[in-house]
Chains A and B, each alone.
Chain A
C-alpha cells in the first residue's frame, strides 16, 4: 500500500503544558491529593483525548464488523480500519514492497513470524541470533522455535556500557544464520542499537532481520526502509493507542510465502468441506473479527504524534532523559544502568540496600508511578548482576519537575528504610 502524504508539522519545540492538557488521566490526584506523576511509559503510554474520542466515535457512530457487512455502518468501519494501514506505513517509513498486518501487539507479532515464517525457514543445525538485552517477547518465541527445529539460538553479549558487542555479533553470523532478532531500543538500558548496520551484515550472509520496535516507534522518528528490516513489529498501546492493536510489518514476498497464523473467518478465500484456500495478505494473517475500534484509535494516536512531530518529541525526550540520569546519579547509593552514547527514555537504576519493589511501593504512595522488577529481561538482569531494577521511563508529556519529585521521593525512601 502506498503511504499517504505526511501532514506538515510546525517544526517548533514542543510545549509540554499544552500537551499535558490533551491527557485527561494526568489531571487527577492520587493517594490523598498528590499530583499523579506517571513515569512508567515504557510499559504503556497514556492516551490523548483524540484517541479516547476515536474509540467513542466508533462505538457511538459506526460500530460494525469489517469486510463483510454490506451496509452503511459496515462500509464506514471497513474504510476507517483499512485507512490505518496507510497511516502506519507512512509513520514508520515503510517501503512500498511491504504489508501491514494487524495483531494484538508486539508479542503477537513476533509469535506470528516465529510460527509462520519460522518452521519453513529454520532447519536443524541453523542458527537464530538474538541479543542479551531482548525483552522476553523477542526471546522466548525463538527459544521455542529453535527447540522445535533443532536449531541453535545465540545471544549477542551486552557490553558494560549497555551497547551490543558487535565483534561477537559478526563472529556469530554464518551462512547457517536464518534470522537476526534485535530490539531497536532497549526497554531496560535505553540503548539505541545500530539496527541498520546489523541488518546489512545479516543480509550479507542471507539472514532475515526482525526489529522489535516497541520502544523506538513511540520515542524517535523511524524509517523501516533505512533500517533495512524484513520484519518490523510494535505495539499501539505504547504509542498513545489503546491496548489490543499492534503491528507486524513484513516484506510482501516473505508474507506471501508464509502460511496463515490462525484459521477461521476472514482469513479464507474459499472453504470446501475438507480444506480451504487462503485470502490474500494481509488478511490471511487476520483470522476472526479484529480489534476494529483499537486499530482505528491507533491511527488517531499516530496522527496525534505526527501533529506534534517525532523530531520534536525525540529532542525533548533526549533532554529530559539526560536530566533524569544526571539527577539520579547525583543521589548517594544510586547506580544508573545503560550508558550507551545513543539512548532512549528508559532509565533503570539500583538504590543500594533498597529493593526495587519496596522503592516503587514507597514512591507510589507519593503519587509517583515507576516500574520495579526484572522488566521481562531476566537474561539481562543476570548480566547486570541484579535480581531486579527500578525504572523510570519518560514520555514527551513528562516534565523536569516530575523528575525532581521522583528524586525527592527516593531520598525519603532511603531514610524510611534506614539507609539514608
Chain B
C-alpha cells in the first residue's frame, strides 16, 4: 500500500462519502466548534450527556476527507460510552496521533485506519479536530 492509500484507506473514504451521525445542527444545539485554519476545516458538534453517559454525538461542517471522516468515526465509536471512559479514550487517541504512545491493536478498526495520517504531520490536526472539539464539549457539560 503506498502512502496515499494508507492516508485515504477505504474505511476513511467510506466514512467521508457516507458520514455517520452527521446532520445539519441548529445553532442552539451546538456544544463545540472547531476550525483548522490550515485548510479551512470547520466542524460543529452537538453532544448530549445523560447522567454519566455520552448519549449522542452529532456533527456538521465542511472540510477535508480526513477531518470529516474522523468526526464520523469518532461519533460512531464513542456514542453510548460513559463520560469518564470517553475522556480517557480521547486522550489516548490524540496522544497516539501525536506519536506519544502506540496505537492499541484492540482499538476499533476506524481508529486504526487513521494511523496512516501520522505519516503526514500537517494532516494530524485534521484527524484530531473532532476529538479536541469533543473534549471541549465535555468540559462545558461538566461545568454546567
Contacts and interface: CB of A to CB of B under 8 A. Distances in A.
B37, B40, B62, B65: which has the most chain A beta carbons within 10 Å? B40
B4 interface: yes
A235 B96 CA distance: 39
B4 A365 contact: yes
A26 to B, nearest CB: 23
Contact of A374 (B7, B16, B37, B62): B37
Given A373-B38, A417-B13, A362 B4 contact: yes
Contact of B39 (A31, A373, A417): A373
Contact of A387 (B4, B13, B16, B62): B62
B40 A361 contact: no
A357 B69 CA distance: 14
Chain B, interface size: which category?
20 to 34
A357 B40 CA distance: 9
Interface in B45-76: 62-66
Given A374-B40, A387-B63, A361 B120 contact: yes
Interface in A340-359: 355-358
A209 interface: no
A388 B4 contact: no
A358 B65 contact: yes
Contact of B13 (A355, A356, A374, A418): A418
B40 A373 contact: yes
Contact of B126 (A31, A357, A374, A386): A357
A365 B13 contact: no
A388 B40 contact: yes
A33 to B, nearest CB: 13
Contacts of A357: 38-41, 63-64, 66, 123, 126
A365 B123 contact: no
A416 interface: yes
A374 B39 CA distance: 7
Interface in B13-47: 13, 16-17, 37-42
A380 interface: no
A358, A372, A386: which has the most chain B beta carbons within 10 Å? A358
B4 A361 contact: yes
A391 B63 CA distance: 17
Nearest to A375: B40
Interface in A363-410: 365, 372-374, 381, 386-388
13 contacts: A355-B62, A355-B64, A356-B64, A357-B63, A357-B126, A362-B4, A365-B2, A365-B3, A381-B40, A387-B62, A387-B63, A388-B39, A417-B8
Given A362-B4, A417-B65, 8 more contacts: A355-B39, A355-B64, A356-B64, A357-B39, A361-B120, A387-B42, A388-B39, A388-B40
Interface of A: 31-32, 355-358, 361-362, 365, 372-374, 381, 386-388, 416-418
* Pairs of residues from A and B, 10 with the lowest C-beta to C-beta distance, nearest first: A388-B40, A357-B39, A387-B40, A357-B64, A355-B64, A365-B4, A358-B65, A358-B64, A374-B40, A387-B62
